[in-house]
Structure 1
Amino acid sequence: MADPSAYRPSPGTIPDAPGVYKFRDPGGRVVYVGKAKSLRSRLNSYFADITSLHPRTRQMVTTAGAVEWTVVSTEVEALQLEYNWIKEFDPRFNVRYRDDKSYPVLAVTLNEEYPRLHVYRGARKKGVRYFGPYAHAWAIRETLDLLLRVFPARTCSTGVFRRHGQIGRPCLLGYIDKCSAPCVGKVSADEHRAIVLDFCDFLSGKTDAMVRRLEKEMAQASSELEFERAARLRDDIGALRRAMEKQAVVLGDGTDADVVSFAYDELEAAVQVFHVRGGRVRGQRGWVVDRLEDAGEESPVTGLVDQFLSQFYGDQADLEDDVANSVPREVLVPELPADAEAIGEWLTGLRGSRVQVRVPQRGDKRALMETVERNAKEAFTQHKLRRAGDLTARSAALQELQDNLGLDSAPLRIECIDISHIQGSDVVASLVVFEDGLARKNEYRRFAIREAATEGDVASIAEVVRRRFAKYAGESGGQDRTPGIDPDTGKPRRFAYPPNLLVVDGAGPQANAAADVLADLGVTDVAVIGLAKRLEEVWLPAEPEPSILPRTSEALYLLQRVRDEAHRFAIAYHRQKRAKRMTMSALDDVPGLGQSRRAVLIKHFGSVKRLTAATVEEITQVPGIGLATAKAVHTALNRGEEKQ
């Protein structure tokens, strides 16, 4: 692990100007690329207290061995250079929003002489136009079946196309007029391409113009007494309208926009995008990616928005021939990034006309944003539960842990400890329990660190392990490991039996500290490991080197879930404790108001905000609070304001 201070640039050498920076590992490979309005401010934030950084950011700065930067003249240039470098170097710590291969799309191969319409799953290719994604492949086939009578384009594979060209007979679709049969020369390549382009225009939202044109042709055919042609045009118009009805109308003003929203936790984020063209939802995409919080961003959402817009639309513009279709007139986001104006200028340059990035405040667009947000949260929840709910995967994970750690049996009960604090203040710990690979939330425990609060994470881990196992070791006498039975309920007491595996968040020192405490207590049947965030290394006590589980291992995935859950639970308790301390501190200076009466006041009003808004008379209604104390409380909470 590299020490960031070893390669920190000298003070004053970093320019206070916009630019793009690269972190390189000791081998010279680029591991992260970022941009900044002020290089000096942004880079200095990476070299602050390492414990205050986001876990993935901390992993990045300790993996890197050097940092370099390039100064540019504008933020728009910084955006473009950042995108080009990410594409060139593919840094491991930059989030890449590659297309989700699980959703089917309707692909139109405009790069072929005779373009083909077909269902496709996979990475995007240049020269191919895509519509969707759709929720199901049958939805694409149903739409195609309706539209082929109006736009009889080729849908067959290259092999089928060539074979029918050789035998000189079209396929069944050619005989029933759902294909113009370019394979046998019924239409020329130019005529077939015109049909395909009309099809693309219709799916791009130019529906009204298409329907009006067909209605005009139908009226003309009727006036010329060509009733068969008029009837066919009538049926074509009906097919187009049925296809339009299958796409929900969400906005009535012909809006051309992408609506983006996120759901995230400390380590991962889910993003959902609804593509609205002509006021209708034409497609939906979703990704789940690892988070890397940029140290200079004010909030997690602004950082996610910034990364997504620059990478997603840069890739779309590179792959799509029709840039105006890939970059909409509006991009609706939950929060504006700090460089929203520069991003808007950059997107305008890609599209060739003005693009607006904004947050919808009310009306239909706000309602649609809330719908996209719900979809992001649902996708994130499903991502978390997908592998956790797989019995086969859980069984495989437990078996892999037994084999890799050399355990006598599969670890059916796993407990994990994590420490949370900010620079040594409000130090707390969490203990989470997993049985058979599933969380047992009713058995979670949290600890306020007492003796070891000022001694660091290793000492805090030791204190929690001692407090967790002291009662168990005493009741079992260090020998009898059968669970203690509650005489009142007849059920085993909680924590009266040990886990098969104890996981601590950290590396060798943390694992050694936990193992030493267990040895002192005489507990010898609990395996201990440490799981380090940096490279997801598994540390065994007294071992000089860690074990590295394969990245695709079910065992590693289970350990990560256990560790992440402990991390989440610890952070929640830490925030609660810190908020309570800050809330109570507002009343610390009130003379004659002790801890008990402060608690009574907060409980009566529910919050300091409500207590601050209360009058002296309302405060005196609290049991035990007299007039003098009420006036003192009111004065302390309303300093600088007019007294009642």
Structure 2
Amino acid sequence: MADPSSYRPAPGQIPDSPGVYKFRDAHGRVVYVGKAKSLRQRLSSYFQDVAGLHPRTRTMVTTAASVEWTVVGTEVEALQLEYSWIKEFDPRFNVKYRDDKSYPSLAVTMGEEFPRVQVMRGPKKKGVRYFGPYAHAWAIRETVDLLLRVFPVRTCSNGVFKRAAQVGRPCLLGYIDKCSAPCVGRVTPAEHRELAEEFCDFMAGRTGAHLRRLEQAMKDAAADMEYERAARLRDDIEALKRAMEKNAVVLADATDADLIALAEDELEAAVQIFHVRGGRVRGQRGWVTDKVEAVDTAGLVEHALQQLYGEESGEAVPREVLVPALPDPVAPLAQWLGERRGSRVDLRIPQRGDKKDLMDTVRRNAEQALALHKTKRASDLTTRSRALEEIAEALGLDSAPLRIECFDISHLQGDDVVASMVVFEDGLPRKGEYRRFQIKGFAGQDDVRSMHEVVSRRFRRYLSERQRTGEWEPPAEDASADGASADGAPEPAGGPLDPETGRPRRFAYPPQLVVVDGGQPQVAAAKRALDELGVDDVALCGLAKRLEEVWLPGEDDPVVLPRTSEGLYLLQRVRDEAHRFAISYQRSKRSKSMTAGPLDAVPGLGETRRRALLKHFGSVKRLRGATIEQICEVPGVGRATAEAVAAALTGSAPAAPAVNTATGEIIEEEQ
């Protein structure tokens, strides 16, 4: 832990003006972002006697190793910059909101030529109008099914739409008059867009005008003795009224407001939001947060508003935002909301009447959400904490290993040798930091030498990055003293840790524990790699598959954890995840090699003979090592073709493996 006085700015160095500040740890990671009306007063409060600080604040300032700040002109600019930095750096000590479930929304893709109505989840997109979120997707579909009688907007996918246009026949909804069938030209793009806009107006709460227009049209049709048309309009009116009844009237007509309520304890807080449009509850959502920083109710409200309205394509800001507490000062936040809306926003605490009663309802929902969250999460949190403590106790560590990295080797009879590195933080996988390696040279002939190479490359890169940031000086005989990794791999462009933004690069942070898949030989190889690089502050162990024994370097006997141990279960999860990740990469390389890319350019060699060659030799590598006479033994391959194959394989270099993103994990390949 760092002493805050060691990095405290000199007296008078901090400006007395609005701004945003960042605390960084010893590795350059941003651990906390905050804003202040006066940077001097706010930062000075962090450097008092640590015994008098809030426990979470004390943890933050002792974790940090430096502080920096940026001066801005107004408090509104500080609010905007703070939100941008929190989204960019994801600091561990800032409030982190998590949706307690994935809420669906009703979306209308107004950015398309023919807008489409559909159910959407996940991040918001530009050119799409959203309504909700709703508690259940079936509730959206019931509402849409009723409204399609009146507003027959297309709901089909792009594939169905194009196919219908090609064959000249609409889908079933077009035949039953629940779609205007723009795919076959029944309506023009302008007419279909007008239908979509009317649909959006109705969903936004402007229902009275549509009902009055339909009622007048029904009366006119009856007066003209067009009774069938009048009957259809009557049914349309009933459908709209049924759709409106699904949203309870809670406030006066034409009231647009968002109500935000909280339920909190010392460690966590639950946020519930009701979206009221046209006096009706149109949507509901909830968040849960870990209170990793010392923050009061007003601060939680401010963070919730940033989360709700901060994204460029986030929720539309209504005329009123009702909250349980107002941040101090409230003017910058109200001005920021007004800029997001484009007009004045009334940010206040309801005191009486229907709005106060509805706020009590939202608060009760928040209390229930917090109780449910604790019930579901307590066991999981306790189990992970106990697992980390058991690992620390079994391995003799000073503290729980919050960051664990595991390495595994995978190959097929010595071919296509690869390795994986997976990362677990706080007992959970951090897939964005997974890495994979291609083993080169002779190291791929056995797992032990491969493990030595992989661990060396991982920590050589780490030391190179520390050297770049000035945290470590290599010895004169170190092969990587010139800043390049000793295994010949080029440094990533821009360096591992951008000094301007502080963004983490490839192998920027060391683990507290390295786990290797294997027994005593693999552990010894990894230990030798660490010793050669002078890395002595990282614990190491291996997990052998046969008896699930934990091996420590230099020990003749393994550590045997009980079969019911949560620590053993966590180590197994880490090991199995590394094995899965390595196998998936190895299979992708094997599949790529089986397609025999170098053979595609051989003249006169078709698909049938390419398959025959691969089936006969098993892989391109073995085919490359075969003689012309051995190639001629394959049925259908003559000497001229064999010579062309041999020449093509001898003169071509192995293709660099492409990055496989099929799993959705953000990974990079170590060349």
TM-score (normalised: structure 2): 0.56
Are the counterparts in 1 of residues 20 and 33 from structure 2 also a CA contact under 8 Å?
yes
Alpha-carbon shift at residue 217 of structure 1 (Å): 2.4
Alpha-carbon shift at residue 225 of structure 1 (Å): 3.3
Distance 1:151 1:405, change over 3 A: farther
Which residue of structure 1 aligns with residue 349 of structure 2? 359
Moved more, 80-89 or 111-120: 80-89
Which residue of structure 1 aligns with residue 235 of structure 2? 235
Aligned pairs for 1:300-311 within 5 A: 300-311=296-307
Moved more, 255-264 or 105-114: 105-114
Moved more, 357-366 or 150-159: 150-159
Distance 1:557 1:406, change over 3 A: closer
Are the counterparts in 1 of residues 33 and 86 from structure 2 also a CA contact under 8 Å?
yes
Are the counterparts in 2 of residues 256 and 276 from structure 1 also a CA contact under 8 Å?
yes
Which residue of structure 2 aligns with residue 180 of structure 1? 180
Distance 1:555 1:381, change over 3 A: farther
The number of equivalent residue pairs is 404
Are the counterparts in 2 of residues 83 and 314 from structure 1 also a CA contact under 8 Å?
yes
Alpha-carbon shift at residue 123 of structure 1 (Å): 2.4
Q: Residues 301-353 of structure 1: CA distance to partner in whole angstroms, max 9, x if unpaired?
A: 011012222332122xx105xxxx71011111111110211111111111111
The answer as to 2:288 corresponding to 1:288 is yes
Which residue of structure 1 aligns with residue 120 of structure 2? 120
The answer as to 2:197 corresponding to 1:197 is yes
Which residue of structure 2 aligns with residue 104 of structure 1? 104
Q: Find the aligned partners of 1:401 and 1:35 in 2 and give their Cα distance.
A: 36
Which residue of structure 2 aligns with residue 135 of structure 1? 135
Secondary structure in 2 aligned to 1:214?
Answer: helix
Alpha-carbon shift at residue 210 of structure 1 (Å): 1.6
Q: Find the aligned partners of 2:80 and 2:390 in 1 and give their Cα distance.
A: 49
Q: Find the aligned partners of 1:61 and 1:127 in 2 and give their Cα distance.
A: 43
Distance 1:69 1:399, change over 3 A: closer
Alpha-carbon shift at residue 405 of structure 1 (Å): 5.3
Alpha-carbon shift at residue 184 of structure 1 (Å): 1.8
* Percent of matched pairs sharing the same residue: 68
Secondary structure in 2 aligned to 1:65?
Answer: strand
The answer as to 2:3 corresponding to 1:3 is yes
Aligned pairs for 1:482-501 within 5 A: none
Which residue of structure 1 aligns with residue 41 of structure 2? 41
Alpha-carbon shift at residue 250 of structure 1 (Å): 0.7
Q: Residues 487-535 of structure 1: CA distance to partner in whole angstroms, max 9, x if unpaired?
A: xxxxxxxxxxxxxxxxxxxxxxxxxxxxxxxxxxxxxxxxxxxxxxxxx
Whichever residue aligns with residue 374 of structure 1, its letter is R
Secondary structure in 1 aligned to 2:122?
Answer: coil
Secondary structure in 1 aligned to 2:202?
Answer: helix
Q: Find the aligned partners of 1:349 and 1:217 in 2 and give their Cα distance.
A: 41
Aligned pairs for 1:127-526 within 5 A: 127-294=127-294, 300-315=296-311, 318-319=312-313, 326-388=316-378, 406=394
Q: Residues 454-498 of structure 1: CA distance to partner in whole angstroms, max 9, x if unpaired?
A: xxxxxxxxxxxxxxxxxxxxxxxxxxxxxxxxxxxxxxxxxxxxx
Q: Find the aligned partners of 2:184 and 2:193 in 1 and give their Cα distance.
A: 15
Are the counterparts in 1 of residues 93 and 293 from structure 2 also a CA contact under 8 Å?
no
Alpha-carbon shift at residue 282 of structure 1 (Å): 0.7
Are the counterparts in 2 of residues 99 and 122 from structure 1 also a CA contact under 8 Å?
no
Q: Find the aligned partners of 1:43 and 1:555 in 2 and give their Cα distance.
A: 40
Structure 1: runs of 5+ lacking an equivalent: 408-552, 559-644
Alpha-carbon shift at residue 373 of structure 1 (Å): 0.8
Distance 1:184 1:59, change over 3 A: farther
Alpha-carbon shift at residue 119 of structure 1 (Å): 1.9
Whichever residue aligns with residue 254 of structure 2, its letter is G
Distance 1:252 1:158, change over 3 A: same
The answer as to 2:65 corresponding to 1:75 is no
Are the counterparts in 1 of residues 258 and 318 from structure 2 also a CA contact under 8 Å?
yes
Whichever residue aligns with residue 75 of structure 2, its letter is E
Alpha-carbon shift at residue 293 of structure 1 (Å): 3.2
Secondary structure in 2 aligned to 1:23?
Answer: strand
Whichever residue aligns with residue 91 of structure 2, its letter is P
Whichever residue aligns with residue 318 of structure 2, its letter is P
Q: Find the aligned partners of 1:554 and 1:134 in 2 and give their Cα distance.
A: 38
Secondary structure in 2 aligned to 1:153?
Answer: coil
Are the counterparts in 2 of residues 270 and 380 from structure 1 also a CA contact under 8 Å?
yes
Secondary structure in 1 aligned to 2:275?
Answer: strand
Q: Find the aligned partners of 1:52 and 1:232 in 2 and give their Cα distance.
A: 73
Moved more, 260-269 or 235-244: 260-269
Whichever residue aligns with residue 379 of structure 1, its letter is A
Distance 1:338 1:399, change over 3 A: closer
Alpha-carbon shift at residue 27 of structure 1 (Å): 3.2
Are the counterparts in 2 of residues 153 and 179 from structure 1 also a CA contact under 8 Å?
yes
Secondary structure in 1 aligned to 2:306?
Answer: helix
Distance 1:398 1:301, change over 3 A: closer
Whichever residue aligns with residue 227 of structure 2, its letter is F
Q: Residues 75-109 of structure 1: CA distance to partner in whole angstroms, max 9, x if unpaired?
A: 22222222233334343333354666522221222
Alpha-carbon shift at residue 374 of structure 1 (Å): 0.8
Distance 1:155 1:356, change over 3 A: same
Whichever residue aligns with residue 67 of structure 2, its letter is V
Whichever residue aligns with residue 317 of structure 2, its letter is V
Q: Find the aligned partners of 2:221 and 2:59 in 1 and give their Cα distance.
A: 70
Q: Find the aligned partners of 2:97 and 2:387 in 1 and give their Cα distance.
A: 34
Q: Residues 557-579 of structure 1: CA distance to partner in whole angstroms, max 9, x if unpaired?
A: 99xxxxxxxxxxxxxxxxxxxxx
Alpha-carbon shift at residue 235 of structure 1 (Å): 1.2
Q: Find the aligned partners of 2:307 and 2:377 in 1 and give their Cα distance.
A: 28
Distance 1:178 1:404, change over 3 A: farther
The answer as to 2:16 corresponding to 1:23 is no
Distance 1:236 1:175, change over 3 A: same
Secondary structure in 2 aligned to 1:282?
Answer: strand
Distance 1:168 1:307, change over 3 A: same
Distance 1:72 1:194, change over 3 A: same
Are the counterparts in 1 of residues 116 and 156 from structure 2 also a CA contact under 8 Å?
yes
Distance 1:398 1:94, change over 3 A: closer
Q: Find the aligned partners of 1:370 and 1:133 in 2 and give their Cα distance.
A: 20
Whichever residue aligns with residue 368 of structure 2, its letter is E
Alpha-carbon shift at residue 388 of structure 1 (Å): 4.6
Whichever residue aligns with residue 247 of structure 2, its letter is Q
Are the counterparts in 2 of residues 397 and 555 from structure 1 also a CA contact under 8 Å?
no
Q: Find the aligned partners of 2:204 and 2:352 in 1 and give their Cα distance.
A: 26
Aligned pairs for 1:479-628 within 5 A: none
Which residue of structure 1 aligns with residue 59 of structure 2? 59
Are the counterparts in 2 of residues 97 and 312 from structure 1 also a CA contact under 8 Å?
no
Distance 1:55 1:399, change over 3 A: closer
Q: Find the aligned partners of 1:246 and 1:556 in 2 and give their Cα distance.
A: 51
Distance 1:61 1:360, change over 3 A: same
Distance 1:7 1:396, change over 3 A: closer
Q: Residues 252-281 of structure 1: CA distance to partner in whole angstroms, max 9, x if unpaired?
A: 253211110111222221111111111111
Secondary structure in 1 aligned to 2:310?
Answer: helix
Whichever residue aligns with residue 91 of structure 1, its letter is P
Are the counterparts in 2 of residues 258 and 274 from structure 1 also a CA contact under 8 Å?
yes
Are the counterparts in 2 of residues 268 and 290 from structure 1 also a CA contact under 8 Å?
yes
Q: Find the aligned partners of 1:308 and 1:230 in 2 and give their Cα distance.
A: 49
Alpha-carbon shift at residue 227 of structure 1 (Å): 2.6
